[in-house]
């Protein structure tokens, strides 16, 4: 299945009236944002930029001031460092409030902080693509997220590629190479182990291989 085929499958989720929400899940570094952005580009090219919007879960990271209060700064990125209920509420509004622009928080990677109102889903948008590690996490506070999504796809890639992406991401955000590798071992891989069971309940498994996109 090519990217064009995947885009067609995403477009097929859209009802005759209203809006569809597609989630993309996977372990850290698997290529969730890469797939989401590719789908948005493909669909915007077909139907116009007003057809589709991309709203990552990352905007619902708790700010460092809250992580410090909770004693979770050294575990940033684990499920309890996100406002899961706020994210689910946004998804509910995106599903129901299709006649008005909806603003959503973004995430500034250089600062590693959420940024309020950084994104907008224009009125009339027919498909919202959202992505994050925990969309299929089988924990009570994340169940409402899955309930608000029409489908959730699982994305994965080769382990060497995934690890290279993670190291590069942490270095770009200001960590030294050794600190980046240590963080991956201490936090990211624990998160990966936590979310991997979600693959079994995903609606579609998509592989980001060296030869392009395909389904597993």
Domain extent listing, the chain: 3-215
Give ∠ CA 48-50-56 in degrees, rounded to 5: 115
How far is Cα 125 from Cα 4, in angstroms, rounded to an integer? 20
Specify which residues 121 forms β-bridges with.
Answer: 102
pLDDT, tens digit, for every residue of 34-70? 999 999 999 999 999 999 999 999 999 999 999 999 9
Q: Which of 45-54, 88-97, 155-164 has the lowest mean pLDDT?
A: 155-164
Rg (CA), the chain: 17
Mean pLDDT of 156-166: 83
How far is Cα 57 from Cα 106, in angstroms, rounded to an integer? 8
How far is Cα 83 from Cα 38, in angstroms, rounded to an integer? 26
pLDDT for residue 93 is more than 90: yes
Rounded mean pLDDT of the chain? Answer: 92
Q: How far is CA 50 from CA 33, 119, 122, in A?
A: 19, 14, 7
Give ∠ CA 121-83-188 in degrees, rounded to 5: 100
pLDDT for residue 170 is more than 80: no
The structure's pTM equals 0.91
Position 190 scores a pLDDT of 81
How far is Cα 40 from Cα 138, in angstroms, rounded to an integer? 27
| Domain 3-215 is found in CATH 2.120.10.30 | no
Cβ atoms 187, 81 nearer than 8 A: no
What band does 200 get if pLDDT is binned at 50, 70 and 90?
very high
């Amino acid at each position: 299945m090519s990217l064009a085929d995947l885009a067609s499958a995403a477009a097929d989720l859209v009802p005759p009236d209203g809006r569809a929400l597609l989630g993309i899940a996977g372990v850290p570094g698997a290529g969730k944002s890469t797939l989401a952005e590719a789908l948005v580009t493909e669909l915007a090219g077909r139907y116009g930029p007003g057809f589709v919007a991309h709203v990552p879960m990352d905007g619902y990271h708790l700010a460092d001031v809250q992580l410090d209060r909770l004693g979770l700064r050294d575990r940033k990125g684990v499920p309890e460092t996100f406002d899961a209920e706020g994210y689910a509420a946004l998804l509910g509004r995106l599903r129901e409030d299709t006649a008005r622009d909806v603003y959503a928080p973004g995430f500034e990677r250089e600062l590693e902080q959420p940024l309020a109102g950084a994104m907008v889903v224009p009125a009339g948008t027919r498909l919202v693509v959202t992505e994050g590690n925990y969309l299929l996490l089988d924990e009570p506070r994340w169940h409402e997220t899955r309930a608000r999504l029409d489908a959730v796809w699982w994305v994965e890639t080769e382990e060497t590629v995934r690890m290279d992406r993670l190291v590069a991401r942490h270095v770009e955000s200001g960590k030294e190479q050794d600190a980046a590798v240590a963080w991956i071992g201490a936090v990211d891989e624990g998160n990966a182990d936590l979310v991997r069971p979600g693959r079994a309940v995903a609606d579609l498994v998509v592989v980001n291989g060296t030869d392009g996109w395909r389904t597993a």
